[in-house]
Structure 1
Amino acid sequence: MHLVQQLLFVIAFAAAVYLFTRKAREIRRNILLGRDVQPYDNPAQRWRNVLLLAFGQKKMFRNPLVAVLHFFVYAGFLIINIEILEIILDGVFGTHRLFAPLLDGLYPVLIGCFEILAVLVLSGCAIFLVRRNFLKLKRFIGHDLDGWPRSDANYILITEIVLMVLFLTMNTADLVLQSRGADHYVAAGPFWISGMLTPILSGLSDGSLVALERGCWWLHILGVLAFLNYLPYSKHLHIILAFPNAYYADLRPKGKMENMPAIQKEVQSMLNPEQATNDTAVEGIPKFGAKDIQDLTWKNLLDAYSCTECGRCTAACPANITGKKLSPRKIMMDTRDRAEEIGRVINKQGTFQEDGKALLRDYISEEELRACTTCNACVQECPVSINPLHIILQLRRHLVMEESSAPAEWNMMFSNIENNMAPWKFAPDDRDQWATGN
């Protein structure tokens, strides 16, 4: 019987790892569809961002209560899953609490800490469920979350609650069996939380307790494996991608926009032909801006897959606050959806062939792009270092410079800048006359 269980466990574990790895490779391929960019400067600052922003969740602490609860859920869930190593080894070798005799008196302390974290995770998830579904915070009821995105968040919270309940129930049944000297249940307790719950199960027979403990053990590990394979399809992929995304974040001042060096060289060559050399000659001027995800950078696509859909960017967006259509959160969700769509085409055909769609217009409208004030509020607010503005600017650059599509007011400003080197319709020589009263 034990051999059959070991075999079933190995099959389930191998299948889960294979499926997760296959999907992870697809996501990596989708991200690398973007243009190359090399954000590798200043590694010390980048590692500091990883520690403070990704792991320490520094930006979350602007709202201390929510930040503490989120940290309990995030860190607690990760730390508790250290015990998964023991469960995996128990499943493979057919043992029970393999580390208990090895760690001796330290083992119940570790399990006790895990149980406290489990209670914190359970409590935090329950509060977040109420907060998300009953308090009706504006950023949680936006139409860009209609359908799957809203359900996704609830599924994850409910799953984490179930996993924590299974973990505590398993330990409680185990403790009762330990106290009765049941076979294979070595004395490893007492555990801090489940030790207080043993009276609830003390009336059950040994057979019922074994069935309960084994059932919770299997459901817990199968739930974790299912959760592992749910992550790549969920916004909760940020549990993994927040760390590389924080590392590769743009370290330039937020007000600094990206120029196109090749175009700058071309303009310089036109203005000063005598200074043009082979070194400054432009070879293969790239297209202006971006129309589809292949025109964005891989960091833009990593941003899209790292998005937590928390809505802090949209809540801070002045365009959105004043009722305009722009939602930075939707920009990121649309970018990820388009990358996934292209990925499915590649999976089916082996390579991508034009499907008559593009990120611009089919997913993100001109109205959304033109509403952006480039204030960088969305970039400042994002807890995982995502930059929706960079995508907006690249799409808008394509509209203006590739399609000559801009509102009349913009075209007037462009003309003034070209002719007068300023947005205003005044000759440079006359610009300071306001100071003289003329």
Structure 2
Amino acid sequence: MEYLPNIIFAIALAIGFGFFAKNVRKLSRNIKLGRHVDISDNKPQRWKNMARIALGQTKMIVRPIAGLMHVIVYVGFVIINIEVLEIIIDGLLGTHRIFAPLGSVYDFLIGAFEVLALLVIVAVIVFWLRRNIVKLKRFIKPEMQGWPKKDGNLILYIELVLMMLFLTMNASDFQLQQLGAAHYDKAGAFPVSQFIASLFEGMSISGLILIERAAWWLHILGILFFLNYLYYSKHLHILLAFPNTYYGKVKPQGEFNNVEAVTNEVKLMLDPSADPFAAPAEDSEEPEKFGASDVQDLNWVQLLNAYTCTECGRCTSECPANQTGKKLSPRKIMMDTRDRLEEVGKNIDANNGVFVPDGKQLLDDYITKEELWACTTCNACVEACPVSIDPLSIIVEMRRYLVMEQSAAPTELNNMMSNIENNGAPWPYSQMDRLNWVDE
């Protein structure tokens, strides 16, 4: 019975990490449903982007208030994980504050953790006020109603509870140290929780131990719950921001990818003798579908983008189409892509690893043509994203499908392309008439 708590803790840890690993495998499987794309170029620049954007948070602090609050929460959660490591070791070995022999270093660490925990609580309250009282415009857009709104608030509640449990655990531990309770040797500095400890004055040692143990268990179980909740939440970006910024676009923002089959056809038309191998062989397979109508037609980096979306709405708030009342919201494009990808993943799970056509697709069932053609391709959304997501690439691929597979471009665009074909310019005037305006 002496080791029962350790056994229970080990089981809880195994279940928590096991379920997390299962979700990671599912996440990886879903992302790999996308088309292959080679991202092996510009490695030094990619590492630099990851260090600068994901680790350094440089694109977050462009908006000072939200950026500063986010940096506090980010740094707080990263550094406080050192305390989580100690809790895990203590839980498995049955020890208490195993890092205490570090002496003054340990005192500094615990003190820093507590200050950060307090700052995280303040930041979380500010975030909640911005979402629910101030109601910033980007948080009350149509796509943020229902689950996205609940998810955003639930995350804040979880973070608040975890920090409060951490400080309560330390406060009761501090009080037990002052009373000389067995196994509670004096260790650590408690600049914040010592004030909370005043609430426990006069309590018995057994009562304090009960509070300390309850806070300890709830804190670590809460962290395991939060770890597994990530998969179902926008907070998945905590893990995916690093690979997403590494694989983010490093080419000039205005440069679009070309379809190789089309490029070869154009080269052949311009100069048939230039590359005799450019023309497809008679027995070659038909070209792949041009553009994208469903998530399987997108590449795996675009699907990674969808899962990385933080739903912060910076892309939508910068979008000129959205600002002028158009239906387009770049954030919704990413959320819809993720929702459809999840639906496809569940379909595969339900059918023994095989996707069974469900009569749905990303185009029309999730994203409308009106949204796609509202985009001005200005790249404002790409520039604004704090984790290097590229909604424009998905919009362009879906437009490509509409034009090249369905010939479903808007009348204005068809007229423009006809003019370019016939007149060498987007205007409905022949080349001979271009200078007529000078006479006027």
Q: Which TM-score tier does this pair reach, normalised by the shorter chain?
A: over 0.9
SS at match of 1:203: coil
Deviation, 1:135, is 0.3
1:126 match? 125
Q: Structure 1 unaligned segments of length 5 or more: list them.
A: none
1:184 match? 183
- Which whole-Å CA distance do the structure 1 matches of 2:103 and 2:254 have between them? 57
1:260 match? 259
1:116 match? 115
The alignment's TM-score, normalised by the length of structure 1, stands at: 0.97
- Which whole-Å CA distance do the structure 2 matches of 1:9 and 1:38 have between them? 43
SS at match of 1:222: helix
- Which whole-Å CA distance do the structure 2 matches of 1:367 and 1:336 have between them? 20
2:97 match? 97
1:30 match? 30
2:431 match? 428
Q: Structure 2 unaligned segments of length 5 or more: list them.
A: none
2:370 match? 367
SS at match of 2:273: helix
Per-residue CA distance 1:355-409 (angstroms, 9 max, x = gap): 1110000110111111111111111110110000000010011011100112211
2:406 match? 403
- Which whole-Å CA distance do the structure 2 matches of 1:406 and 1:167 have between them? 57
2:158 match? 159
1:413 match? 416
SS at match of 2:311: coil
For the Cα contact (< 8 Å) 1:269–1:281, is it kept in 2? Answer: no
Per-residue CA distance 1:64-83 (angstroms, 9 max, x = gap): 12211110011111211121
For the Cα contact (< 8 Å) 1:269–1:275, is it kept in 2? Answer: yes
2:66 equivalent to 1:66: yes
Tell me how many residue pairs correspond in the alignment. Answer: 436
2:246 match? 247
Deviation, 1:104, is 2.0
- Which whole-Å CA distance do the structure 2 matches of 1:169 and 1:386 have between them? 39
Q: Which amino acid aligns with 2:300?
A: W
1:331 match? 333
Higher mean C-alpha deviation, range 57-66 or range 286-295: 57-66
- 1:170-249 residue pairs with structure 2 within 5 A? 170-249=169-248
Deviation, 1:417, is 1.5
For the Cα contact (< 8 Å) 2:268–2:278, is it kept in 1? Answer: no
- Which whole-Å CA distance do the structure 2 matches of 1:42 and 1:112 have between them? 42
2:296 equivalent to 1:294: yes
Q: Which amino acid aligns with 1:378?
A: C
- Which whole-Å CA distance do the structure 2 matches of 1:123 and 1:223 have between them? 20
Deviation, 1:433, is 4.5
Q: Which amino acid aligns with 1:267?
A: V
- The verdict on how the C-alpha distance between 1:258 and 1:432 changes in structure 2, with shifts beyond 3 A counting, is farther
- 1:9-24 residue pairs with structure 2 within 5 A? 9-24=9-24
Q: Which amino acid aligns with 2:385?
A: C
Identity of aligned residues (%): 55
For the Cα contact (< 8 Å) 2:295–2:340, is it kept in 1? Answer: yes
For the Cα contact (< 8 Å) 1:89–1:98, is it kept in 2? Answer: yes
2:141 equivalent to 1:142: yes
Give RMSD over aligned pairs. Answer: 1.4
Per-residue CA distance 1:39-69 (angstroms, 9 max, x = gap): 2211111111111111211122222122111
For the Cα contact (< 8 Å) 1:119–1:164, is it kept in 2? Answer: yes
- Which whole-Å CA distance do the structure 2 matches of 1:190 and 1:268 have between them? 71
- The verdict on how the C-alpha distance between 1:260 and 1:359 changes in structure 2, with shifts beyond 3 A counting, is same
SS at match of 1:59: coil
SS at match of 1:151: helix
Deviation, 1:281, is 4.1
For the Cα contact (< 8 Å) 1:335–1:359, is it kept in 2? Answer: yes
- Which whole-Å CA distance do the structure 2 matches of 1:24 and 1:14 have between them? 15
- Which whole-Å CA distance do the structure 2 matches of 1:197 and 1:17 have between them? 32
Deviation, 1:181, is 1.4
Deviation, 1:156, is 0.5
Deviation, 1:279, is 5.3
Deviation, 1:166, is 0.4
For the Cα contact (< 8 Å) 1:39–1:249, is it kept in 2? Answer: no
For the Cα contact (< 8 Å) 1:36–1:298, is it kept in 2? Answer: yes
